[in-house]
Amino acid sequence: MNPHPRIALIGECMIELQHRADGSLQQSFGGDTLNTAVYLRRELGASSTVDYVTALGDDRFSDAMCQQWAAEGLGLDRVQRLPGRLPGLYCIQTDAQGERKFLYWRNEAAVRDCFTTPGAEPVLAALPSYDVLYLSGITLAVLGEVGRARLLSALLQARQRGARVVFDNNYRPRLWASVQAAREAYQQVLALVDMALLTEDDERALFGYADSEQVLAAYPGIEEVVLKRGADDCLIRCGGERFAVPARVVEQVVDTTAAGDSFSAAYLASRLRGGSPQEAALAGHRLASQVIQLPGALIPRG
């Protein structure tokens, strides 16, 4: 295993508004793969390169995003800046139990042209040189059909060169024209995946699986499958073995935003450092339990 892996995470970061109880709005930034990128960089420290791959506008919000990412140690060489465009925006509303509801404004977001512009050519050409490529179901949705096809081609080349592809399912129905369109896109990428970090609720919603056993049985060709189940044990199938690792008990959940993203980051970081699946799951639960006790997607560095 490469002790200093080069990792690229591909997806979208948006302007985040947290709707507070007094009616005020707290502005920050977030997005599933960006959240994972930040937490992964924090977990790995200086032992690896973590680059974020996306497209932004040339506005002040996009400037601030890049400044924040650089401060977190993320590489920005694969971030395109598209003149006249803007990033997407979302608002988080949480109930008394900490469960969240999202309101989105993202139809014109710059990331939708991430892999269709002339500037995308060197980015796509660089992807196969990474050791690990990470994307999510939201990545698939926001790129659109053309961008998605170009990314899948790059993932295939990367695997042929020995890279590992990691996929978090993160299914969001409103981003897809139909369930069938989403299923087809997911099945295309799942054929190229080495590690699948799956949320059981999303698998049920997208494919109609009845239980955990059906989910695990659905991906016999994937080397490592991790099934995230909220406060229940996560289930892992790896190397022909099965593991169940209990989650941490949290007395007060404040905000579940980025719970799965942070779990995925800590799990992947542990595996890249040579940890066992059980050790990686414990690391994932540890970080996720910290994240859900504070508001917002990205908690302050400890």
Active site residue 255: no
* CA-closest candidate to residue 148, choices 182, 105, 193, 195: 182
**Catalytic residue among 51, 168, 202, 261, which?**
261
Starting at the edge strand found earlier in the chain, the sheet holding 6-10 runs: 79-81, 49-56, 6-10, 132-136, 164-168, 195-199, 224-228, 234-238, 241-245
Domains of the chain: 6-291 (3.40.1190.20)
Phi/psi of residue 8, nearest 5 degrees:
-120, 130
Q: Which residues contact 285 (CB under 8 A, 6 or more apart)?
A: 234, 245, 246, 247, 248, 263
The predicted pLDDT at position 284 comes to: 97
The predicted pLDDT at position 302 comes to: 72
The predicted pLDDT at position 94 comes to: 74
The predicted pLDDT at position 270 comes to: 97
The predicted pLDDT at position 138 comes to: 97
pTM as predicted: 0.94
The predicted pLDDT at position 256 comes to: 84
Buried b (16+ CB within 10 A) or exposed e, 126-144: ebbebbbbbbbbbbbbbbe
pLDDT in tens, the chain (302 residues): 576 899 999 999 999 888 887 889 989 898 999 999 999 999 999 889 999 999 999 999 999 999 999 999 999 999 999 999 999 998 878 777 767 687 888 888 999 999 999 999 999 999 999 999 999 999 999 999 999 999 999 999 999 999 999 999 999 999 999 999 999 999 999 999 999 999 999 999 999 999 999 999 999 999 999 999 988 999 999 999 999 999 998 888 888 889 999 999 999 999 999 999 999 999 999 999 999 999 878 899 87
